[in-house]
Amino acid sequence: MVVFLTGSNGGIGSAVSRLLKAENIKVIEPSSSELNLNDSLNVTKEPIDGFIHCAGINILAKHSEVNQEDLYKLFEINTFSFVKLCGKLNFAKGSNILGIGSLYSTLTKENRIQYAMSKHAMYGAVKTLALEMAENNIKVNLISPGFVDTNLTRKNNTKERIDFLQNNIPLGLTTPEEIAKICLYFVRGNKFITGQNIIVDGGYSLRNL
């Protein structure tokens, strides 16, 4: 089995990479210098069985402070490159495609307008791709983590907020390893789930924290 993975240097991406390799799955994981998601996407033509788009950025800004250059960059990395790669990669029949979304694929919060827009759009892309790629038995789904204990989460939240979430989310902060396990199941075992948003948030959305 061969899986193409973006964002393998990130908190979730690195956990996904480690787990797939531990399961003897070949991982093609170009670095950001090898695959510029803001530019033309030259990718391998090797047949692959799975694609996981972990690459993503989050630039905080109020709606009145949105910078067009930042907005476009965020959409290019979070959303547009995912769609482009789905059109460029050489998928074997029966492949699984996963976009890493977010709670902000369906919810939102102050100062997250750019990020929420890009993740909502990604969910729309997943549902459409699921229909269009079904003729080759290719399944396309979104994995939407809640608050995962990564450097990015800690960068965008105060220590007080992190402590609050850890103590008030029913199951606490999710770990990158738990997200990786979900990804492993989908790329290796999913046969019939497509076009879905799989929320992995430890119960966060149940309490609307």
Tell me the C-alpha distance between 168 and 209, whole Å. Answer: 8
Q: Quick one: pLDDT at residue 28?
A: 95
- Annotated catalytic, 115? yes
Residue among 37, 4, 13, 29 at smallest CA distance from 151: 13
User: Which residue bears the tokens 């787990």?
Assistant: 19
Q: What is the pTM of this model?
A: 0.92
Q: Is residue 69 part of a domain?
A: yes
Express each pLDDT in 37-83 by its tens digit.
876 677 888 999 999 999 988 877 788 888 888 888 999 999 999 99
User: CATH number for the domain including 8?
Assistant: 3.40.50.720
Q: Is residue 206 part of a domain?
A: no
Counting the structural domains of the chain, the total is: 1
Q: Quick one: pLDDT at residue 193?
A: 98
Q: Is residue 209 part of a domain?
A: no
Q: Which residues contact 144 (CB under 8 A, 6 or more apart)?
A: 100, 101, 102, 103, 105, 106, 119, 197, 198, 199, 200, 201
Residues of the chain with confidence (pLDDT) below 50: none
Q: Is residue 208 part of a domain?
A: no
Q: Quick one: pLDDT at residue 208?
A: 67
Q: What's the domain range around 70?
A: 2-199
Q: Is residue 47 part of a domain?
A: yes
Catalytic-role residue among 72, 104, 115, 123:
115
Q: Quick one: pLDDT at residue 40?
A: 64
Q: Is residue 132 part of a domain?
A: yes
Q: Is residue 82 part of a domain?
A: yes
Residue among 167, 53, 162 at smallest CA distance from 118: 53
Q: Quick one: pLDDT at residue 149?
A: 87
Q: Is residue 189 part of a domain?
A: yes
